[in-house]
Amino acid sequence: MSSGEAATPLLSVKNVCKRFGGTQASRDLSLDLYPGEVLALAGDNGAGKSTLIKMISGVHQPDSGEILYKGETISRRTPHEVRDLGIETIYQDLALADNLDVGINIFLGRERMKRVLGLPVLDRKFMRTEAIGALKHLGIELDDLSMPVRYLSGGQRQAIAISRAVYWKAKVLIMDEPTAALGVPEQREVKDLIKRMQQEGVAIIFISHNLNDIFEVSDRIFVLERGRKAGERLIENTNEDEVVAMMMGRILDD
């Protein structure tokens, strides 16, 4: 669903500002995100992309302005509280535990326990069974879910991180450079996963330096330049040259 088809945004950022010492990392930023929409967040290094997504995810609190989810302010929530609301962030490092298997990684931080002889132990069978279902829901098949995830490919690891978000019923998914350092076949798999989530109504913020990926998977693009909004366009109404010009500050929306 595109922003033109949805009357009410799922997530709204309203006039947020953030300063770190003498650096103004975010300058009066506002954006809306709608159910089923892929919104690309673009900008050169230091443009403010990381600061913005960390304010949305609760890592940083804005100095001014507010962030709304389903109409309620979440600007002062912790990362754990934001995640419990249904906003998941997949950073470049994926936050997977390399020495643990797929099932435990799906439940990382929310492990399922059972009691054996009165003592709490990890319910590995339950978590592995649930992991199979979570991966299958997105059309992902792995031969062995018992192996540590460090032995999996980059695309498979990205799929596990995405499956974790979907399993915990994320309604907003922030993806930080999800196709970086992946081969072409794995990039295609991740893009297919994005499209499947979009069809299920998940709203996605897609951060990438790769304009080809942005134009392939996104509905709309929001460009940052030195912490400020340089421009916002429907993908169908712009091109790579205009986006690059916005990223370099040669075009600034009023």
Predicted confidence (pLDDT) per residue in 150-192, tens digit: 999 888 888 899 899 889 999 999 999 988 878 888 888 889 9
Query: What's the CA angle centered on 70, arms 175 and 61, to 5 degrees?
Result: 60
Whether residue 221 has pLDDT greater than 60 = yes
β-pairing, 203-207 vs 172-176, is: parallel
pLDDT at residue 14 greater than cutoff 60: yes
Tokens 């945004």: give the residue.
9
> Quick one: which of 52, 51, 83 has its CA closest to 69?
83
Question: What pLDDT is attached to residue 109?
Answer: 87
pLDDT, one tens digit per residue, over 25-79 is 999 999 999 999 999 999 999 999 999 999 999 999 999 999 999 999 999 999 9
* Domains along the chain with CATH numbers: 1-86+171-254 (3.40.50.300), 98-170 (no CATH)
What global pTM score does this model have? 0.89
Helix, strand, or coil here: 162?
helix
Give residue 214's pLDDT.
Answer: 96
Angle (deg, nearest 10), helices 184-199 and 154-167: 10
